[in-house]
Amino acid sequence: MLHLIRTQAELRDVVFRLKQKNKTIGLVPTMGNLHEGHLSLVRQAKVDNDVCVTSIFVNPTQFNDAEDLKKYPRTEAQDILHLEREACDFLFMPSADEVYTDNPCLLFQFGSLESVLEGKYRDGHFSGVATIVSKLFHWVSPTVAYFGQKDLQQFRIIETLVKDLSFPLQLKMCPIVRENNGLAMSSRNNRLSTEEKTQAAHLYKALTSIKELIHTDELPNLINQAKAYLSAQNINVEYLEVVDAYNLQTIKENKKQKAVACIAAYVGEVRLIDNLFLNHFKE
């Protein structure tokens, strides 16, 4: 049975009792509007641990666009039903006032890791992510925390956070869950029309073309071809880069390092991100 928790105090009490019983805890941090991608993380947490804690909190400090925050879908009742069906043990769903008693003054910096890809376009985003994730790690004390590969840069940021602040936990990155047409599942997909969802599937096709041809052509050529293909589909590419899978720095030659193709693009007014590991590399 799903136990809904609204306050830090109750969460800490629950965690204290679980730790007394030596229970392992899997944490799945989310912003709600749950889809199959989120639920795959919950299932993995259930397999790996005695207890699964999912959090739902639309974190205002990671939005650099107030309109984007306003438009972010809130589907509380539906999310609870999803988690009940997955036999999630605990749902932590606090209010903004419960999480932030005042505007946070602490800022996180992640050097070159945050100055690329999403960091170029979303000022302060990763500091906001690090703030809320740090709070959750303190409150839940998870054995393992689960994140999706779709937000690869976020995962690398959180890896650095865990290492530098010595959080005693493990991180697990789970594969992207896709629609039948290849579109990476995302809460933002709900803002796409039926026609735009079909259009958005071309993002995965473009990434796949780079992977398939990586050993037959130079990377700059492959990237330019992929951009031209997407432009022909009326998709506005913000960035499309092949980067090192760990430090996320741009790769310009087909070398043996583990690489990933990353994209952010607009389909209509909706900004989508995706990525694909290359060179048959799997995390």
Which residues are catalytically annotated? Answer: 38
Residue 207 C-beta-side C-alpha neighbours within 13 Å: 27
**CA distance linking residue 259 with residue 280, whole number of Å:** 9
Q: Counting Cβ atoms within 10 Å, is residue 163 exposed (0-12), middle (13-18) or buried (19+)?
A: exposed
Q: What is the DSSP string of 184-221?
A: BP-GGGGGS-HHHHHHHTHHHHHHHHHHHHTTTS-HHH
Q: Is 69 exposed, middle or buried (0-12, 13-18, 19+ CB in 10 A)?
A: middle
* Strand, coil or helix: 281: coil
* Residue found under tokens 């999403």: 118
Place of tokens 């306003």: 70
User: Scanning the structure block, which residue is given the tokens 């988690």?
Assistant: 83
Q: What angle do CA 239, 240, 242 make, to 5 degrees?
A: 130
Query: Contact at 8 Å (CB) between 74 and 32?
Result: yes
Alpha helices for the chain (secondary structure H): 8-20, 36-48, 66-71, 76-85, 96-99, 118-121, 125-140, 152-165, 194-200, 202-213, 219-232
